[in-house]
Structure 1
Amino acid sequence: MKLLPWAIAIAAAGCVPPAWADGMGEVIQTAPRPPERLNPSGHDIPLGGPLRDGAFVLGEVDYVLTVDDRILIDMDTLLPLVEPRLSTADAARIRAATAGQARLSTDALAALGLPLAYDPATFGLVLTLDPALRPRQSISIAGSSYAVTGRLEEPARLAGYVTAFLSTDYVHQGLSDSTGFDTPTVLLDSAIRYRGVVLENEATISERFSRDGTRLVYDDVGRTARYTAGDLEPISRGFSGATSMAGLSMVRSYSELEPQRNVQPRGQRTFTLERASTVETYINGRSVQQTRLEPGTYDIRDFPFAQGANDVRLVIRDDSGRETVVNFSLNFDRSLLARGLAEFGVFAGVESTPSNDGLDYTDQVGGSGFYRRGLTDELTAGANFRVNNDGAVVGTEAVWASPIGTLGGDVAASSINGIGEGYAVNVSFERTFGDSFSAVRTLTGTFQTVSRDFATPGTLAADNRYVWEAGLTYAHTIGATQYVTTDAFYSAGRGDEPDQRTLRATYGWRASPRLQWTVEGVYEDRRNEEEYGVRLALVYRFSPFSSGTAEVDSRRDRARVGYQTSRGRGVHSWSAAANIDRSESATGVNASINSVLNRVELGASHQTFFDSDGGEITDQRTSLRAGASLAFADSAVAVSRPIYDSFALVRAHPSLKGAQVYIDPRDEFFSARSGVLGGAVSPELSAYSPRVLTFDAPEAPPGYDLGAGSAQVLPPYRSGYLITVGSDYFVSAVGQLMTESGQPLSLWVGQAIELEHPDHKPIRMFTNASGRFSVQGLRPGRWRIESSDSSSTVYYLDVPADAQGLVRIGVLRPETR
């Protein structure tokens, strides 16, 4: 039987065992075993430990172990942890029933539906909830969702960066007589974020400076809307098209503002687990995932379905071996929106055109927009428009996941000054067949017709050469190693424009894990010129990091052989490629290499072209590229590799004495490192996509307490984080506590309180059977060690001002408070 620490202490004090035997093994006397005590100390003990729900640790909870073995739980630490595990109604009921009560016993909480048991192995508590009290939960079969749990770091109030890409060519020999370096080009991308508002700019420096765009952006996350003022980047839908402009816009795009959200239709099937179970999901006959779930009620979402009809089967097995099967089918299409969800965009302003000197603003005032809504889980419809001084185009769109396949369509009408009125229609169909992922067959068809005078605003003349165009594609996988695709396209010319037709067939075969073949046959009739050809391509993988390719194309009279390789991850990783490309008129020899360093990305390439007739070099040049960023977050500045959206600047606390901080260290790899150019910068964070950053300081003083060693972020758009590794509370101390009689203070639980800052959270500490302790998270100064507020016996621990990490205190003896 596993004894509690307090029971071990009783045994060590000399308690008589319940039974003993003589030397021959005969039982002489048997006494009843005394009840096992949780707290034999004679006084209440404040404790704390992890709260666990099944296999999941919810957090730390404080409680008091009373002298009569009751457990009184601190409600301020308990309720925030258990409320997310309860349904909304039950959470409100328990919150009302416990209002105004600082502590409640486990018996009282069990009567409310919160049964909690003491776990002596961890000094924690275990929650066992009735599944009926749990909220309905969602599980992700596709595995694309990321559950954000735990504490999130706050982004810096003021953060920004300037990213620069420098490129230049050195011409060894060219078509002209000039050689040497070309004029270098610098592309600039910058952003400053202050309290949720972002100012962003793009510019180019070559022979002159040109501004390519400036705008203010504000994201209203609660309403899933982005507001922009300045140089806009309109989104086009259907036939409406888009043009750059300066003005105002409002957009809701789930892929931009909620990339982790599944906005596609999902099955509304639910199931309830009475006990922990393993759920295996089969889609169209193939097992796609096994998930271990705790008791509760679950919705099912995020199925990786093919389009059209799908057969879905859930096999639920509990720990007793009982098996339950749930069957259902669902029509699904990835371009659909779930019922009730809508996406939209509205753009209005003065149209602009790019030039060598930047943007030129015209006298055309215009606007564009779109709106899409999920009318049902099977039907999404919308409308779009674009208008300016010259005219307008309006259109509608719809997609329907029908029982026989996915049907989609766009219809538009235009009226443009000087051109006239016109219309355009596009319809498509897609159907996926097959009862398993290794024998999928997909049929896709499209048809489009555009009238002679259909045009969009800003067009000088309509150029619609074809009355109608149609295409048909069929793809078929054969087992796990082969596939076949066929394409047919036809365009019916208008007036004197000749018809065009294309036929293509492709066969692919992965002959081995290393070797893959592709054969393609093509027939084209363009402008009354017929062409036939066969393309043969081979890919051979030499290792997980390198591969070679060879390709021959008879139609274009072209051959190519190449090699590519990559090494490493994160900082100091690199990739290289080289190929020889031969055509009818020239032969080219090309090579490139790219390297990722801690503060910069570097690249170089070399191209040489030989004339096929005489073998002379016709053009030879070397291109050099470099990219870096200068970033700041609140009071910290650092140089970084190129930043494209958001970043985290991780710096070392002064107590680390100059020790370098590494981000995401794994084996001999890492993604960033601090140094003389500032803190370590993680430059690849994406807006609204959660990320956990891990960090370490291997050169920290021995015993230095880094804390959690990780930080979780959910970056807003173009944001920056400032994370400090280490703190003033970095010292670890080891020592021994003795009683007044000179005996070790065995198996004792207490807390250390900083005298200079008594409001700082006390640090819990324990002693072993010899009275020895180890406590982390101290800082230089005087600390009081006590068991409870009611005890008059305390210890005082002095951490030296020059402490570097681990301090050996020696023996501490009690003093009177």
Structure 2
Amino acid sequence: MRKTRFIALYALFLLLLAQSSVAFAEQKINPTGRDITLTSLLRISDSVIGETDITITAKDDILLPKLATLDVLKTLVDEDVLDALSADAEGEYLSQLNFERMGLGLTFEFSTLECVISIPNDKMLTQQLSMGRVSAYTDYISPSLFSGFLNVTLSNSLNQSVDDDTDRQHNQNHRFESALNYRRLSLEYESTYDDIDGLGTHYLREGTRLNLDFPDAGSRLVLGDMFNNGTLFQSSADIAGIGLTRDFSLISTKNVRPTAAQSFTLTRTSSVDVVIDGAIVQRFTLNAGTYNLNDIPIAQGLNNISLIITDASGQKEEIDFSVATGSELLNTGEFEYSLMLGAPRVFDSDRLRYDTDKRLIMGNVEFGAAPWLTVGVNGQQLDDVYQYGGNVLFATSLGVTELHASQSEHPSFGSGNAFRFAFDADIPESHTWLNQFSILYDQLSPNFAGTDDVDTVRDASTNQEPLNSVQHFWSVFAAFQLSSVYRGSFSANFSKGHRDNDNYWSASPSVSGPIFDTDATWSTRVDYQRFDNGDDELSGTLTLSWPLGRKTRVVNRLQSENRYAGLDVSYQDAVGNTGGISAFASVETQESTDANLNASIDYTGNRYQASIDHATRYSDINQDVRTHNTRVEISSAIAFSGTTFAIGREIGEAFAVVSKHSTLSENRVAVDPAEDEKFARVFLEGSSHVLVSDLATYSDQIISYHVDNLPPGYDLGEGGFALYPGYRQGYALNIGSDAVITAMGTLINRRTASPIALVAGIAYYLDDENIAPLDFFTNRQGRFAISGLRPGNYKLVLKTNAEQTLTLSIDSVDDTFVRLGELYVD
């Protein structure tokens, strides 16, 4: 806080200099004529990573401390570039010239008082997943010791069937999700309440669990209801028991985004465009959190898939999922694991049932044996069914290869095995035509079993079907750059079953490109399948995607299969912000249905989320046979953090209760405002508190704010909150304080009657020794400014050869800007 106020003092000092009679060049950063050292925020790209001591010389050169700066950059800049930068700087400081020689940028943003380092993509360090402790580049605000919330989602559906007789049914489905947090310990509870016409009401507890996080170890211990996807050939499991997991998707103890693993993290609520074969075919909204490709509601079996993610500030990022391998290399000595033990859990009609007579054990461990090699083992057991295996992931100059092997033992089916080979080529960026190449091979024996086959039995006297109909499966994918604007891809599959009639092969070429010189795109795809029984299928798809500005998109799809034709219109504005709207409408027709009409709209309020969607199906327009489904949903949350409460939008992984000081009771505050300040994450009006409900866990975040009509001289302190939330943790954030007074005056030497010029000093608060002292200094006319003062008594100590002191009194906070006039110092 003391350093940050020093930055504010520096800005005020420059303002005083501009008002003085001494002329200084306006374009200069440092007009004092001597070197000045101050503390500045250090920013790389759009991310503030901490504070640094910066020296601005009399010639406006910018100098950074060499050792400290290199230590910060070692996780961001290529090692060879850093070595060259270190060698280029002979003394204790790095200059702008040193950065320029290495192809890096170093500037000082006077408008924000930030030191900015720019790093070209080719000089950035290629990140690997590492579970090491996060480097703390800044001082994070601590969450409240005790916090909790309750999410409530109320929905009402009306289903109508119109033919000779009209049938109507109401369905109320309400969801509840709650959590209590103490330090790293959280208790979760989920339930639903249903009221369906003719079936009565029903309340169902869906899950209860206790979580204990170990962030430094990247691990989480869970006791209660839990779900595990397992590894490649393992069966997924829903159990009640105990689990211990060390996984990037749970606790990202290093803030990196995996490039090969099919998962990604969002730090803000964002809109997502799904791109298939080069054309945007679907838009939807995701809250902050970590997602896997399996979480995305898109059609399976398509190789060439990308996601274009746009956050609330308008920044875009594209993630490509056209890869065969689904894992990520670990650094040497790093490891991930997942272990579970408990009773299987199933939903039996309208209740949860635990099979307490059975015990399920499952787990997997992966270890980074070398930077280019990751090995792992896995296994699971339920009753007399066993499954165990291993995997190897290694990188060469050609690409990344993944091998999986698994063995099973079943009391009725006997032994079985499964194997996977996957390869993703490492294609240089300089390659002109081939962008991607992947190949995948799966082999499964007829009797390969998982724990979900525990109740399956075989009678040796009958000829039953095998557990797995597919024995061998090959898939090849390649993407091409046909020209500067046209792209192509080709995928081919071959499947051999345990019966000849199950064998088939398929080929699917696609081409995409822009429509003339616009942002609109087209994509065409041909799918051909050939079966060993002599049948073949040929179908084609044409997709046209038209953006109508930044907010609206029209997508038209034509498919020869089932004579499908569809037209979709989507609209998104300020997603993730108060006042944000997401709307969708479509009309479809196909061989089996005359028309499908769909529409939905989602609205984000300051304290709630509301949505309405409707679907009409015409199976026969001529006979007026149709169905209507309408659903209305609203969700909100009540939360507390420490002793502060608030109502707001549904909470995800972590949250913050934001309030403002009484000195700002009449001011409207925008929390995380958009660039045009028309929208914001939430707004604070009046004296009530608000919720920031979509914080992403274990990820650096800066929550900024803007106060309308801020009183002159009011010091907001940091101007933002630096957070690193744990799972289900809550913050109590307060904007403003009583330390809002800025005092200005002129210091005069009583004996010489001359100004005390260019002297630094410290202001000590005499009424509370726990309050940090404030730095200040004088200009050539002896004028000074001190911000962040509160009512009370202060002692000013001047750092002169013979130390000089002065006491002053600030009476009240009614006037945030105080002119002290001339002050005489002995």
TM beyond 0.5: yes
Contact 2:215–2:251 (8 Å) recurs in 1: yes
Give the match for residue 526 of structure 2.
521
Cα deviation, 1:414-441, whole Å, max 9, x if unaligned, reads 1122332222222233335466265234
Give unmatched runs, 5+ long, in structure 2: 1-12, 21-31, 56-64, 73-90, 96-107, 109-121, 195-200, 261-324, 457-465
Letter in 2 for 1:211: R
Label 1:505 to 1:37 Cα distance change in 2 as closer, same or farther (>3 A): closer
Matched, 1:566 2:572: yes
Contact 1:471–1:490 (8 Å) recurs in 2: yes
How far, CA to CA, are the matches of 1:596 and 1:639 in structure 2? 14
Matched, 1:655 2:655: no
Matched, 1:620 2:620: no
How far, CA to CA, are the matches of 2:233 and 2:661 in structure 1? 56
Cα deviation, 1:164-194, whole Å, max 9, x if unaligned, reads 2332223355579666672221222222210
Letter in 2 for 1:563: V
Give the match for residue 284 of structure 2.
none
How far, CA to CA, are the matches of 2:228 and 2:692 in structure 1? 30
How far, CA to CA, are the matches of 2:670 and 2:171 in structure 1? 38
Shift of 1:163: 2.0
Give the match for residue 345 of structure 2.
352
How far, CA to CA, are the matches of 1:203 and 1:420 in structure 2? 40
- Which structure has more relative contact order (CA 8 Å, sep 6+)? It is 2
Residue 566 of structure 1 aligns to a residue in which SS? strand
Label 1:614 to 1:166 Cα distance change in 2 as closer, same or farther (>3 A): same
Q: Among the aligned pairs, what percent are the same residue?
A: 22
Letter in 2 for 1:140: M
Matched, 1:643 2:651: yes
Give unmatched runs, 5+ long, in structure 1: 13-35, 40-46, 63-80, 89-112, 123-137, 267-331
Give the match for residue 227 of structure 1.
221
How far, CA to CA, are the matches of 2:554 and 2:161 in structure 1? 29
Shift of 1:581: 0.5
How far, CA to CA, are the matches of 2:553 and 2:189 in structure 1? 40
Letter in 2 for 1:760: I
CA RMSD of aligned residues (A): 4.0
Residue in structure 1 matching 2:563, options 550, 557, 567: 557
Label 1:86 to 1:440 Cα distance change in 2 as closer, same or farther (>3 A): closer
Shift of 1:236: 0.8
How far, CA to CA, are the matches of 1:434 and 1:784 in structure 2? 65
Shift of 1:559: 0.5
Give the match for residue 717 of structure 2.
707
Contact 1:240–1:395 (8 Å) recurs in 2: no
Contact 1:639–1:678 (8 Å) recurs in 2: no
Residue in structure 2 matching 1:194, options 170, 175, 182: 182
Cα deviation, 1:312-335, whole Å, max 9, x if unaligned, reads xxxxxxxxxxxxxxxxxxxx9963
Label 1:411 to 1:761 Cα distance change in 2 as closer, same or farther (>3 A): closer
How far, CA to CA, are the matches of 1:678 and 1:186 in structure 2? 27
How far, CA to CA, are the matches of 1:802 and 1:167 in structure 2? 49
Label 1:57 to 1:185 Cα distance change in 2 as closer, same or farther (>3 A): closer
Residue 611 of structure 1 aligns to a residue in which SS? strand
Deviates more, 1:705-714 or 1:765-774: 765-774
Letter in 1 for 2:775: R
Cα deviation, 1:615-649, whole Å, max 9, x if unaligned, reads 62501232222222222111111112222101222
Residue 655 of structure 1 aligns to a residue in which SS? helix
Contact 1:386–1:394 (8 Å) recurs in 2: yes
Query: TM-score, length-normalised on structure 2?
Result: 0.71
Query: TM-score, length-normalised on structure 1?
Result: 0.72
What are the residue-to-residue correspondences of 1:551-700 with 2, within 5 Å? 551-568=557-574, 570-584=577-591, 585-614=593-622, 616=624, 618-665=626-673, 666-667=675-676, 668-675=678-685, 678-700=688-710
Residue 663 of structure 2 aligns to a residue in which SS? helix
Letter in 1 for 2:818: V
Residue in structure 1 matching 2:494, options 486, 490, 497: 490
Letter in 2 for 1:163: N
How far, CA to CA, are the matches of 1:54 and 1:582 in structure 2? 52
Task: Kindly name which structure, 1 or 2, has the bigger radius of gyration based on alpha carbons.
Answer: 1
Matched, 1:729 2:717: no
Shift of 1:405: 4.1
Contact 1:780–1:801 (8 Å) recurs in 2: yes
How far, CA to CA, are the matches of 1:176 and 1:243 in structure 2? 45
Shift of 1:808: 3.3
What are the residue-to-residue correspondences of 1:57-76 with 2, within 5 Å? 59=52
Label 1:58 to 1:431 Cα distance change in 2 as closer, same or farther (>3 A): closer
Residue 556 of structure 1 aligns to a residue in which SS? helix
What are the residue-to-residue correspondences of 1:760-775 with 2, within 5 Å? 760-775=771-786
Letter in 1 for 2:341: A
Label 1:59 to 1:771 Cα distance change in 2 as closer, same or farther (>3 A): same
Contact 2:660–2:687 (8 Å) recurs in 1: no
Contact 2:668–2:686 (8 Å) recurs in 1: no
Cα deviation, 1:306-359, whole Å, max 9, x if unaligned, reads xxxxxxxxxxxxxxxxxxxxxxxxxx9963223332211111111111245443
Give the match for residue 124 of structure 2.
140
Letter in 1 for 2:340: F
Give the match for residue 150 of structure 1.
138
Cα deviation, 1:545-574, whole Å, max 9, x if unaligned, reads 222111111112110112222223522121
Give the match for residue 468 of structure 1.
472
Label 1:788 to 1:176 Cα distance change in 2 as closer, same or farther (>3 A): farther
Give the match for residue 482 of structure 2.
478
How far, CA to CA, are the matches of 2:617 and 2:329 in structure 1? 49
Give the match for residue 424 of structure 1.
418
Give the match for residue 33 of structure 1.
none
Matched, 1:801 2:812: yes
Residue in structure 1 matching 2:798, options 776, 780, 787: 787
Label 1:87 to 1:366 Cα distance change in 2 as closer, same or farther (>3 A): closer
Cα deviation, 1:167-223, whole Å, max 9, x if unaligned, reads 222335557966667222122222221021111222222232211111111122222
Give the match for residue 443 of structure 1.
437
Cα deviation, 1:687-708, whole Å, max 9, x if unaligned, reads 1110111112224433211112
Label 1:83 to 1:519 Cα distance change in 2 as closer, same or farther (>3 A): closer
Cα deviation, 1:439-469, whole Å, max 9, x if unaligned, reads 2343333332222222112313352123322
